[in-house]
Each structure stands twice: as C-alpha cells, then as structure tokens.
Amino acid sequence: MDLALAGKTVVVTGGAQGIGEAVVRALASEGAIPVIVDRDEGVGRLLCEALAAEGHRCELVVCDLVEPGACKAAAEQTMRLAGPPYGLVNNAGLNDGVKLESGSADAFLLSLKRNVLHYFEMVQHLLPSLKRQQGAVVNISSKVALTGQGGTSGYAASKGAILSLTREWAVDLLPHGVRVNAVIPAETMTPQYRQWIQGFPNPEEKLATITGRIPLGKRMTEPEEVAAMVVFLLSPRAGHITGEHLLVDGGYVHLDRSLT
C-alpha cells in the first residue's frame, strides 16, 4: 500500500534510537523526509548517514528538548532544513523512576518536563504548518499509563497526560483537519528497555518471565511493529482516524491473564 507520504516532512523527537529510529526508517522507506530531533548527535548522524547511503533523505536537529527554548529552536531549524512539516511524532522520553515514597517535588516536575512538556511545546511551534497541510500528530505513550508499574510516578503521570492531551488536541484541531492519535507500546526491546532489564540480578530469567506473559507469540513487540502503526496513522490513508489510543502490544494489556 502506498501511504502517500512521499516528499512530506515529518519530525520525530527521540528519533535516533529505539522506537524513534524504527519510525524514522519506516518514514524514509515511504519516501518521506524524516527530521530527527535528538540530543545524541553521534547516533543521530550515523542514522542519517545510513539512510543517505540507501538513497533516502534525512535531517538531524541536535538539542535537548528539556532546555528552555529548545522546542522553538528545533521547530525553526526543521523549517530551514526540510521545509514546513506535515507530521510530528512526539516520542522522546525517559522512564526516570521518580518514586512516590522517595521522589521530591522537583524530581517529579523534571520528569514531567522530560516526558510531556515538550510534546505540548512541539505541537504549538509546528501548529501553523500542520494546519496548512492538514497534517497529523502521533504521540507515543506507554502501557504504564493504563496499568501502572510502581516506582515511576513522574513517568506514569506523563504518559497518562499524553493520552488525555491526544483527545484534547484531536478536538482542538478538528476544524483544521489535523488528526491526533496516540500509540501505546508495552514490552518493546529498545536500548532503554535493554538497560533496564540488565539491572536485574538475572536479566535473562527476568526477560523470560516477561515474554511468557505476552499473549501473542510469547515475545516482545518489535520496534518496527510499533513504527508501522505510527506511520500508518501519520498517513492520509488513516484520514478518518483521530483521537484514538492504539495499543501495539501482542495483547499484553487487555487480553485475559489466564492466556499466559
């Protein structure tokens, strides 16, 4: 299926690794122009170079979205490098483990800045272009927003807020034809996830326990599977889908636990 994304500029925050990287690669394969917004210049540049070697165009904006003014600067640099964006994938974030029992108010607020504030700011700064092109926004949330996890109040609050904002923005932008949806991954093997699993005394045993609870195939979701949903939702082929929360998780969240 031709997703009709050829030549369209799409901004992907946190696009250098993990789910973001998979989204960037999927966009490039559709002929879109992905703009990676990431603080890791080395990894982001390697990805752009790899895509260029395959004949794809990709641009890189290096910044830390938590810093004041960074989102505005990223939006302006995107316009200079690749022209007005048609789409935005809000993906950057960090499960930073701000706990209820021991986390401070300052740490909680920093977690919100790391995980949700820049979603709001990026949409704001790209809004004129999104409106003109009747584009699309996809927000990456997490199953933690629906299930809880324990020990990560800031991240959970942020990911829950992302789901609420997805519906709010979908309503706000209806008159302009801009669609806003959220994708909710669960157990997906990314560099962050790999680092988290390595923190257990027996990582392989822990991973086997987790995958054993995933109904479909007893396996982790691949980043490319999440990316496929994201890119479809960005595309005009999803032209009558807005305000949705779509899980890509092998049935992890909603199917009966007796299955596992």
Q: Could you list the active site residues?
A: 155
Helices 41-53 and 18-29, axial angle in degrees (round to 10) = 20
Structure tokens at 224: 């490319």
**Which residues partner with 184 through β-bridges?**
247
Alpha helices in 13-104, H assignment, sequence order: 18-29, 41-53, 70-82
**Which residues partner with 156 through β-bridges?**
none
Cβ 129 vs Cβ 84: under 8 Å: yes
Distance CA 238, CA 127 (A): 19
Cβ 118 vs Cβ 75: under 8 Å: no
Cβ 159 vs Cβ 90: under 8 Å: no
**Which residues partner with 35 through β-bridges?**
11, 59
Distance CA 24, CA 10 (A): 9
